[in-house]
């Protein structure tokens, strides 16, 4: 790969190649998927959202999605972590992203920031990553363009670093070229999210998917990232179930990704057995990004996630005009008109169904696992962002602990992560944390199996 891709006028070549960029294939049973990146990856949210989709949509397809993000990382730091952190996780699929920190920050407050220097430094470091990945056999590679820095959102008391966006574009040029030249998969978070930002800011100037610091996406922004990734895998339109019942004929006329049978007309309605092959995707109600109150559901206003990835469609045709109660396992769920039922309803958006409650169990377990994994990410942050500079990388001695305690009061990030470092570095507690994560994964794949339900459509009133 040559640096010529960074020169003015050649960006159009990358645009022409965009339609030919290899897309990542859906993950398969047994895959160990490692996401390597900076603090956006370390947060663990877009990766866990992607895994949660697989947990619920492909309950028999057991995979592992592992976090290898470290806050503050640039390409050089990712390269230095490759052997002892990233590749040590034994990935079958490795997804790498960088660029937010490589493109710098306060340097744009100077009259002439050295943009070409920033890009060349990132590029030179990436060449070392690229060489290492070229030598890595049996592992599928995915290059991911970073989520964007948002220069346009109107935030109070937060001035943008003007020019950073264009610097990130230059880094993305060589990332994209490398993926193409090596026939590696490529996922673009940058331009789709930037387009969403601009589109929504026409309606609301303070909207951003890039977070209230212009950098770190909120919980909703991470769901947008998962949406983009899953869409790049070609999974859009893969329904939870698509079932159609004809009341007049008393039979199931369509059943996609589900088994529906034992149709019985009952007084003022119809009853049938129903077993979907997938579960609905549960929407988290807790904001998970530090100092950002936005929750996941805000993303549903921005991208058609439910329509494309969370559709459990039920159609009941030829009912007498009127209103009907949907019951699942004899419990009332919601009311609909005969017209609405004939047009089709999305059961996945109803949070009081037994299948949604089952999905919430999966979400709870997934969040528990992610929080434990976060302690390991803190451990690696302390090693690479502090101890390495003290010539104490992976030193677990009392001297390392004393050094951390000495500097923690004046280093807020270190102070916030030192307890996690202590917990992981201690052999017994570190092994206990690993065992707990493994047990949670096993439990997830035990409780995520869909169950058979009885659906009833019963008249409330006739028109």
Q: Indicate if the pLDDT at residue 353 is higher than 60.
A: yes
Each residue's pLDDT tens digit, 68-127: 999 999 999 999 999 999 999 999 999 999 999 999 999 999 999 999 999 999 999 999
CB 99 within 8 A of CB 172: yes
Q: Indicate if the pLDDT at residue 5 is higher than 80.
A: no
**Which residues partner with 68 through β-bridges?**
36
Q: Indicate if the pLDDT at residue 177 is higher than 90.
A: yes
Q: Indicate if the pLDDT at residue 137 is higher than 80.
A: yes
Q: Indicate if the pLDDT at residue 1 is higher than 90.
A: no
190-201 vs 164-182: helix crossing angle, rounded to 10: 140
The pLDDT score that the predictor gives to residue 15 is 46
The pLDDT score that the predictor gives to residue 2 is 52
CB 455 within 8 A of CB 271: yes
DSSP for 169-216, written as a single string: HHHHHHHHHHHHHHT-EEEE-HHHHHHHHHHHHTT-TT--SS-TTSSS
Distance (Å, whole) CA 395 – CA 397: 6
Give mean pLDDT, residues 313-318.
Answer: 98
Global model pTM greater than 0.75: yes
Q: Indicate if the pLDDT at residue 7 is higher than 50.
A: no
Beta-sheet pairing, 331-337 with 322-328 = antiparallel
Closest by CA position to 59, among listed 445, 453, 358: 445
- Helix H or strand E segment including 368: helix 354-385
Q: Indicate if the pLDDT at residue 226 is higher than 70.
A: yes
Q: Indicate if the pLDDT at residue 359 is higher than 90.
A: yes
Cβ-Cβ contacts under 8 Å for 410 (sequence gap 6 or more): none
Beta-sheet pairing, 241-246 with 312-317 = parallel
Domain definitions of the chain by residue range: 3-232, 241-277+311-463
In whole numbers, what is the pLDDT of the chain averaged over residues?
Answer: 95
The pLDDT score that the predictor gives to residue 93 is 98
- CA distances to 120, 285, 324, 329, 336 from 264, rounded to whole Å, are 69, 38, 16, 15, 20
> Looking at domain 3-232, which CATH architecture does it have?
3-Layer(aba) Sandwich (3.40)
Cβ-Cβ contacts under 8 Å for 435 (sequence gap 6 or more): none
Give mean pLDDT, residues 58-64.
Answer: 98
Each residue's pLDDT tens digit, 360-384: 999 999 999 999 999 999 999 999 9
Each residue's pLDDT tens digit, 321-336: 999 999 999 999 999 9
**Lookup: tokens for 460:** 């409330």
The pLDDT score that the predictor gives to residue 157 is 79
Distance (Å, whole) CA 4 – CA 232: 27
Cβ-Cβ contacts under 8 Å for 117 (sequence gap 6 or more): none
Distance (Å, whole) CA 305 – CA 192: 14
């Amino acid at each position: 790969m040559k640096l010529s891709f960074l020169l003015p006028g050649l960006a159009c070549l990358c645009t022409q190649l965009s339609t030919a960029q290899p897309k990542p294939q859906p993950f398969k049973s047994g895959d160990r998927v490692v996401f390597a990146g900076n603090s956006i990856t370390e947060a663990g949210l877009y990766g866990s959202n992607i895994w949660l989709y697989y947990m619920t949509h492909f309950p028999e397809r057991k995979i592992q999605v592992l976090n290898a993000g470290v806050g503050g990382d640039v390409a050089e730091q990712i390269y230095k972590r490759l052997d002892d952190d990233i590749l040590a996780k034994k990935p079958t699929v490795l997804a790498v992203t960088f660029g937010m920190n490589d493109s710098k920050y306060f340097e744009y407050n100077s009259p002439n920031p050295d943009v070409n220097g920033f890009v060349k430094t990132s590029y030179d470091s990436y060449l070392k990553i690229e060489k290492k990945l070229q030598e890595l056999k049996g592992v599928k590679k995915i290059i991911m363009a970073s989520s964007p820095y948002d220069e346009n959102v109107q935030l109070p008391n937060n001035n943008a670093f003007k020019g950073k966006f264009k610097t990130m574009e230059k880094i993305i040029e060589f990332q994209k070229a490398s993926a193409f030249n090596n026939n590696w998969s490529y996922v673009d978070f940058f331009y789709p999210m930037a387009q969403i930002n601009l589109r929504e800011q026409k309606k609301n100037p303070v909207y951003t998917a890039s977070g209230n610091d212009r950098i770190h996406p909120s919980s909703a922004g991470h769901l947008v990232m998962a949406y983009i990734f899953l869409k790049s895998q070609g999974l859009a339109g893969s329904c939870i179930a698509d079932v159609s019942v004809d009341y007049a004929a008393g039979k199931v006329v369509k059943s996609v990704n589900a088994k529906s049978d034992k149709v019985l007309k009952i007084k003022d309605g119809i009853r049938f057995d129903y077993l979907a092959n997938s579960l609905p995707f549960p929407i988290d109600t807790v904001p998970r990004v530090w100092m950002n109150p936005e929750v996941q559901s805000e993303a549903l206003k921005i991208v058609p996630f439910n329509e494309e990835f969370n559709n459990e469609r039920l159609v009941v045709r030829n009912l007498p005009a009127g209103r009907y109660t949907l019951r699942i396992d004899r419990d009332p769920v919601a009311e609909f008109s005969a017209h609405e039922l004939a047009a089709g309803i999305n059961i996945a958006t109803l949070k009081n169904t037994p299948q949604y409650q089952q999905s919430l169990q999966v979400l709870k377990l997934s969040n528990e696992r992610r929080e434990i994994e976060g302690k390991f990410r803190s451990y690696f942050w302390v090693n690479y962002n502090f101890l390495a500079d003290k010539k104490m990388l992976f030193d677990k001695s009392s001297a390392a602990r004393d050094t951390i305690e000495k500097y923690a009061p004046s280093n807020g990030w270190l102070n916030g992560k030192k307890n996690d470092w202590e917990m992981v570095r201690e052999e017994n507690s570190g092994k206990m944390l690993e065992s707990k994560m493994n047990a949670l994964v096993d439990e997830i794949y035990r409780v995520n199996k869909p169950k058979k339900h009885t659906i009833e459509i019963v008249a409330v009133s006739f028109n």
